[in-house]
Amino acid sequence: MNVNLPKPKSHILRNIIIIGSLIIFIAAMILIVRNCSPSKSSVIAIEPVINEKIFFPFISITQNKAIFLGDKGIKYYSYDLNKKEKKPLLREEILGAVNAIYKPDGNESIVIGDYPSKYIKLYNFTDEKTASLNNNIGNIAWDKTKDKIYYIYSNLANHITTLNISNPDGSDWKKLIDLPESILAYKVYALDNELIYTDYLTVSKLNLTTNQTEKMFEAKLTSGLLISPDGEKIAYNISDLNGTKIFDQKSHQAIQLKEEINIESSVFSTDNNIYYLKNLDTLTKIDQDGNLTNINLNKLQVNVANPLDEPIQNLTLSQDNKILYFTYNNILYKIVLQK
């Protein structure tokens, strides 16, 4: 026997389809909103490392320690970044320091001071020995592996400017090359087997094996150079275009960044990215192609100066590129980029 089942009314079926479509649409919108909304984990906190004023710090990423002048800049201390312990390095007080240049292993420092008169002095933190250097030397750079320093020697009265090498105490010195006189001071940077030097108009390099020089590029620099750990990339600020360029030693080409960065507030990572701490709210990562990515920061733990005009300096990355150290208002802070 045939049984005729009742057919559903068309408007009921239409309502079921509409309700089902609405449910799917709402679920899709919730998913989109969740994916687009910034999460709390996307904001990285700035954390204090040493809650006291420090001066001329050096972060030894191999020994996980900070070396600095404390007690208003007159006593040398070492701070263990893991144990969070501070200990004195020298008994001698250091007066009138205006700059400090550290040996890569952090065991020695050359301090330039102006009180009671100009001086350049070597301090050895291991045996506390000291030595005075010639006041006519400047722009000192430590060799990366050998116990040597490179420096610019200037005797303006006799029109002599040379690039020299010596022991850290200034003994056993030797002239490497003569330099042309310049109205601007030279600056020198030591790499593995070469020196890069500039008078802020021309950037050149000296091969330490062959003693041959090579002009790399000309540029009107507004600050020093930022050089990658492998020496392949050189970032610099230029005055004529009010911008920043990155020069590649392999291709001998330079790219112009879309936004100007402050070289003094930047650092290269071991994979040749640049981290630029524009301010206490934003950290900018710049890849090798010049692409910029902004990272939001939480500065609740920062003792913000009033007015906000203190420089952000001394940027140092840990060997694994996971922690960025910097000083602001003479306080050492860190940003944990990766846990």
Instruction: Determine the pLDDT at residue 305.
Output: 80
263 near 234, Cβ under 8 Å? no
pLDDT single digits (tens) 280-310: 999 999 999 999 999 999 999 998 887 667 8
Whole-angstrom Cα distance, residue 39 to residue 4? 58
Instruction: Determine the pLDDT at residue 27.
Output: 52
Whole-angstrom Cα distance, residue 70 to residue 76? 6
pLDDT above 80 for 252: yes
Separate counts of helices (H) and strands (E) for the chain: 1, 28
Q: Exposed (0-12), middle (13-18) or buried (19+): which is 171, by Cβ within 10 Å? A: exposed
Instruction: Determine the pLDDT at residue 15.
Output: 54
55 near 73, Cβ under 8 Å? yes
Instruction: Determine the pLDDT at residue 73.
Output: 84
pLDDT single digits (tens) 222-237: 999 999 999 999 999 9
pLDDT single digits (tens) 141-173: 999 999 999 999 998 888 899 999 999 999 999
- Distance between first and last Cα of the chain: 74
Domain ranges of the chain: 51-132
Which contacts qualify for 203-208: CB closer than 8 Å, 24 or more apart?
A: 203/234, 203/236, 203/247, 206/163, 206/176, 206/177
Average pLDDT over residues 38-51: 76
Residues sharing a CB contact under 8 Å with residue 299, sequence separation 6 or more, in sequence order: 46, 280, 281
pLDDT single digits (tens) 105-134: 999 999 999 999 999 999 999 999 999 999
